[in-house]
A and B are shown apart, each in its own frame.
Chain A
Amino acid sequence: MKKQLVMIGNGMAGVRAIEEILKLNKEEFEITIFGKEPYPNYNRIQLSHVLQGDTTVAEIIMNDWDWYKENHIQLFTNESIVKINPENKTVESSNGRITAYDKLIIATGSSPFILPVKGADKQGVTGFRDIQDCEVMIKTAESYKKAVVIGGGLLGLEAARGLIDLGMTVDVVHLMPHLMERQLDPTASQMLQRELESQGMNFLMEKQTEEILGEERVTGIRFTDGSETAADLVVMAVGIKPNIELAAACGLEVNRGIVVNDYIETSIPDIYAVGECAEHREVTYGLVAPLYEQAKVLAETIVGKRESTYEGSITGTQLKVSGVDLYSAGEIMDDPSVKAIKVHNEFDGIYKKILVRDNKIAGIVLYGNTKDSSKLFRMMMAKEEITDLTDISLLQKAGEEGAEDIGSIPADEVVCGCNGVTKGTIVEAIQTQGLTTLNQVSGCTNAGRSCGRCKPLVNDILMHTLGDSFDASLAKDSLCGCTALSRDEVVEEIRTKGLTAVKEVMNVLEWKQEEGCSKCRPAINYFLGMVHMDTYQDDRDSRLVNEKMHANIQKDGTYSVVPRMYGGVTNAKDLMKIAQIAEKYNVPLVKLTGGQRIGLFGVKREDLTAVWQELDMPSGYAYGKTLRTVKTCVGSQFCRFGTQDSMSLGMELEKKFERLDTPHKVKMGVSACPRNCAESGIKDLGYVGIDGGWEIYVGGNGGTDLRAGDLAWTVTTEAEVMEYSSAFLQYYRETANYLERTSTWLERLGLDHVKAHLADKNIREKLNDRLDQTLQRYNEPWKQAIEDQKVNEKYYSTKEVELV
């Protein structure tokens, strides 16, 4: 009969221990896990992203229900253990279930420390620890305005950032004069505070909470100095305390945590404690990396190997608060026994400090740029003499790092701290499994799958390893896993070999996957259309869903329909038509889009062609890697400030460039004066009317890569506007990577380069010619779907079969 292994708690450290046990011996145990939350194991580190709305609960699940099933693990969620009985070797659950164990793992984690002040039990006071806390905060933000976060540590600041994103006004209360005083020195701390203040956080420093005010629900906080602040929500983020009550009650030795030895054994045989609830050599850990180390040792102990011991962990703290990279390790504060090497670059918001004692690194604080962290941490741990490194440079020239640095990282150094993945493991996976992309490396090794902070380093290792096995000069980005060729090489082959079809490209260039993948097929189709300007036969089935269907797929499989409204200008006739169609087809949502037009959302696939036919308007291409919209202000036709006719120029631009395939979507804005109501500063191409002409801004972005456009040219006539815009667009089309926005493309090439290139009238003319030639190729896609029976049948038909 199998031995019974029972685990109390279903969090990251415990489940990792189970994974390690399964790796060592799949057969020995029948495993039962009790978790008090109603979820399978999720990534608690990512909770702040859930709060900030960047991700969802579903996306942070690390071991889904199927994992438990596949590994024959009995999982009881929503069920906590209330009693351990070491004599009979049983545990009792909140439902009265008695379960016998041969081995018992306690992995109960920790709870937020709730300040023992008057009123702490009022409604609206919460910790920030689990999914439920997140949900409370999100819900509160829907109907309340003012939040107070108590605690200016990492957790508190993450909570505060999330609450700001949820639309609340946030005060952060901190007892000490500096934020994150255990990780940062006063200089770095002040930099962080200034940055966060500019993001809208308000700080109440050196305040001690005396009482939470309010009737049933919290209304405010009073501090010991007598001052008060209003609050609809109070988040306590002052620290965590290990959950040890259960262990203490059954006679286990506890201190701050449950005491374990170097084998992760507690004071009673066959009972183990791992994770935040455990105390090893008088230290409890809260970061994931040491807990995963404990889990590994525990697994060996439990299966009876007892070879490894846990020796405690010294870790650096690498974290990201509200977009600011921070790192610290070892000692933090200057004192007479250490000498500090400091670089404080206020201009770029970068601060680096190394504390040196007896020629060895004793502490590291990095703010704003943490690229050197692994190198410095390694030197500190190895107690390397830095005497020979008098030229140790904190400010390196761009390009000086990279290959050489990666080469000097020892193979056993942990690159992904969360998952304990070493450089050696990554290199081996790349070499033995022929990996070529970051995603593949993550998929095979787990590196970068928890907090994601190490991804740049993993990518550097990938580049370095590939560079070694081919030729150092050949390290490059391949188009996708189907080929070793880069974007530029594929385009070059298309040109020199005269390739004209997607299949032909994949065939001639010996694609590993005969029919490509969702990365390369759309890219090749684009490249072919860019090279063969007016003759290319578009391969519609190599486009992804939205471009293939000429409508945006919604999450329920319906589509949105957004007709073109040139320059955001419409009329009564079109509006009536849209209204009638919305009514006739029961369109669930009619909404003004961000690009000044009207979207019909939730149209059924089989209704698409009929809706388009009745609309009798061109597609707005709200789904395409192409020109989306040209946003315009009213301009000189009506506005008293307008110096130029922005609507006319906007319509002219939209009519000229609509349907043009581009590497990624392109948005334009035209404002008639520098008040810039059309937000031209954050468009791929933005125009601002001035007295006697136009300013042309390029590379702006209001989305993922927020970037203000650069003023590239000031011109006097609309003909010049068209000439420069066409030249810019065509140059972007010919040189950008597929799916690279103008913002990142411009950063890569440099504004000066692009301006210098387009300063040549001859070059501009040629670019204009090639663009105009390309534009002749396009037809109206909605019209085609209506008129071409085959297109209609192939893409828009559905069928229902009744079962009789």
Chain B
Amino acid sequence: MRRIEVYPYSKLYEQMGQPVTVGDSNIALFKLSNGEVHAIENRSPHPKGGILSEGLVSGHYVFCPLYDWKISLLDGLVQSPDTGSVKKYEVEVEDNKVYILLD
């Protein structure tokens, strides 16, 4: 498990996604209204793909900007009636730094 510093916490905006590339992985960071930061793979599980970082954020859900799938940021699960899941990354925040844990 590696702990990678990816972004300053204070530069993340509430209810917004922020794309970051870590090595070969495209990751979207989301800061919720309650201040929590979550990270998921920046790729929609919709068969046609697309990115997630620019989606509308509501509570702990992001709406896929291309096909409007509703995806939980807590576990990466697509909400019904659609199905699927997106990879979720563990996040730690310390001293204004956002870290991602990579396998």
Contacts and interface: CB of A to CB of B under 8 A. Distances in A.
A797 B58 contact: no
A434 to B, nearest CB: 14
B84 A555 contact: no
A553 to B, nearest CB: 6
Contact of A541 (B5, B15, B49): B15
Nearest to A521: B56
A541 B56 CA distance: 7
Given A553-B66, A799-B6, A800-B21, A794 B16 contact: yes
B23 A515 contact: no
Contacts of A555: 48-50, 66
B98 to A, nearest CB: 11
Interface string A466-495: 000000000000000000000000000000
Interface string A781-804: 000000000000110011111110
B34 to A, nearest CB: 10
A501 to B, nearest CB: 13
B23 A803 contact: yes
Interface in A196-230: none
Given A521-B58, A542-B56, A439 B21 contact: no
Greatest chain A CB density within 10 A among B4, B18, B56, B65 is at B56
Interface string B46-88: 0111110011111100010110101000000000110110000
Nearest to A70: B83
A443 interface: yes
Interface stretch (A26-34, A58-66, A639-647): A58-66
Nearest to B26: A557
Given A443-B81, A555-B48, A518 B58 contact: yes
Given A514-B59, A548-B54, A443 B5 contact: no
Contacts of B84: 64, 66
A801 B80 contact: no
Nearest to B59: A515
Interface string B8-40: 000101011011111100000000010000000
A442 interface: yes
A794 B15 CA distance: 11
A561 B52 CA distance: 20
B63 A517 contact: yes
A517 B58 contact: yes
Contacts of B83: 64, 66
A570 interface: no
A545 interface: yes
A515 B49 contact: no
A45 B21 CA distance: 42
Contacts of B51: 553, 557
B50 A794 contact: no
A119 to B, nearest CB: 39
Nearest to A442: B81
Interface in A761-784: none
Contact of A516 (B11, B54, B55, B58): B58
A692 to B, nearest CB: 49
A443 B80 contact: yes
A439 B82 CA distance: 11
A513 interface: yes
A268 interface: no
A800 B54 contact: no
Contact of A799 (B7, B23, B49): B7
A799 B58 contact: no
Given A517-B58, A518-B56, A798-B21, A553 B65 contact: yes
Nearest to A518: B63
A543 B59 CA distance: 16
Interface string A56-88: 101101001010000000000000000000000
B20 A439 contact: no
Interface in A524-545: 541-545
B81 A439 contact: yes
Given A515-B58, A521-B58, A801 B47 contact: no
A514 B81 CA distance: 21
Contacts of A545: 54-56, 65-66
A549 interface: yes
Contacts of A543: 56
Contact of A801 (B22, B48, B55, B57): B22
A320 interface: no
A797 B11 CA distance: 10
B91 to A, nearest CB: 14
A58 B48 CA distance: 8
Nearest to A503: B33
A589 interface: no
Nearest to A515: B58
A605 interface: yes
A66 B68 CA distance: 20
Nearest to B13: A794
Contacts of A58: 47-48
A444 interface: yes
Interface in A425-484: 439-440, 442-444
Given A66-B84, A799-B21, A518 B68 contact: yes
Contacts of A64: 47, 83-84
Nearest to A546: B65
Nearest to B54: A545
A798 B54 contact: no
B66 A798 contact: no
Contacts of A56: 48
B4 A801 contact: yes
Contacts of A66: 83-84
Contacts of B2: 803
A544 B65 contact: yes
A513 B15 CA distance: 14
The interface centre, meaning the residue of A58, A521, A545, A548 with most chain B CB atoms within 10 A of its CB, is A545
B59 A801 contact: no
Nearest to B21: A800
Contacts of A541: 13, 15-16, 56-57
A801 B81 contact: no
A555 to B, nearest CB: 6
A513 B20 contact: no
Contacts of B55: 518, 545
A134 B42 CA distance: 33
B80 A544 contact: no
A801 B6 contact: yes
Contacts of B4: 801, 803
A802 B22 CA distance: 6
Contacts of A514: 59
Contact of A802 (B16, B23, B42, B81): B23
Contacts of B7: 799
Interface string A553-567: 101110000000000
A482 to B, nearest CB: 9
Contacts of A513: 58-59
B33 A515 contact: yes
A10 B102 CA distance: 39
A799 B20 contact: yes
B90 to A, nearest CB: 16
Given A58-B47, A555-B48, A555-B49, A544 B56 contact: yes
A518 B81 CA distance: 15
B20 A798 contact: yes
Q: Which 10 residue pairs spanning A and B have beta carbons closest together? A: A443-B81, A545-B65, A803-B23, A58-B47, A518-B63, A557-B51, A515-B58, A545-B54, A800-B21, A799-B20
11 contacts: A59-B47, A439-B81, A517-B70, A541-B13, A541-B56, A543-B56, A544-B65, A798-B19, A798-B20, A799-B20, A803-B4
Interface of B: 2, 4-7, 11, 13, 15-16, 18-23, 33, 42, 47-51, 54-59, 63, 65-66, 68, 70, 80-81, 83-84, 102
Given A517-B56, A518-B68, A545-B66, 12 more contacts: A56-B48, A64-B47, A66-B84, A442-B81, A549-B54, A553-B66, A557-B42, A798-B20, A799-B18, A801-B5, A801-B20, A803-B22
